[in-house]
Amino acid sequence: MTEKNSETPLKKLMIICAKGTIEDVYAALIMANGAVMEGIEAKLFFTFFGLDAITKKYMNKLHTATVGNPAMRMPGGLAFPSLLGVIPGVEAGVSAMMRKQMDELDIPPVDEFLEMIIAGGGEVYACKLAVDMFKLTIEDLSEHTKAIITVGDLYAMSGGEGSQIIFV
């Protein structure tokens, strides 16, 4: 006996980005870009340290986490000793290496990635609570930011059949 797939196809995707590291921000950007390329309505919601991804001052200067990252590997596959991450300059060096590898793969910087997502019909939002906590204004944020919204607004716009919320 075969079972009929009763799942509704994905039509709407809301991605919440709460961390400002290269790896977290790019995970959100890649998923949103992939969604708009597949014709799925995509909205990005940046909160807490994820706001760095849409804050003009920081968006193209993101770092990768070197302390407490058990998945960090050195060339050759050896585990990166977390303790090395506390040495001045190590995090900046690892982050520069990550950006270089991304450049070699033709992965765009954050501002260009946001532009691609917006051009594909995606939308970018900032969390009101986090914006208020960090004393930011809409002028501090990327021009790609559609609005500063509350969590209630987020839920109102992300519901419906065929919708999914992903937290990065």
pLDDT tens digits along 62-95: 988 777 777 777 777 777 777 777 778 888 888 8
User: Is 100 a member of any domain?
Assistant: yes
pLDDT above 90 coverage of the chain, percent:
61
pLDDT above 70 coverage of the chain, percent:
95
Q: Which residues contact 86 (CB under 8 A, 6 or more apart)?
A: 67
User: Is 70 a member of any domain?
Assistant: no
Give yes or no for residue 1 having a pLDDT over 60: no
Tell me the pLDDT band of 35, cut-offs 50, 70 and 90: very high
Q: Is 41 within 8 Å of 34 (Cβ atoms)?
A: no
Q: How far apart are the C-alpha atoms of 98 and 63, rounded to whole Å?
A: 9
162: left (phi over 0), alpha (psi -120 to 50) or beta: left
CATH of the domain at 140: 3.40.1260.10
* Domain of residue 150, residue span: 12-65+84-167
User: Is 18 a member of any domain?
Assistant: yes
More confident residue, 10 or 110: 110
pTM of the model: 0.86
User: Is 145 a member of any domain?
Assistant: yes
User: Is 5 a member of any domain?
Assistant: no
Give yes or no for residue 4 having a pLDDT over 60: no
| 33-37, 53-57, 96-100, range with the lowest pLDDT | 96-100
* Range among 12-21, 65-74, 93-102 rated most confident: 12-21
Q: What is the DSSP letter of 150?
A: -
Domains of the chain: total: 1
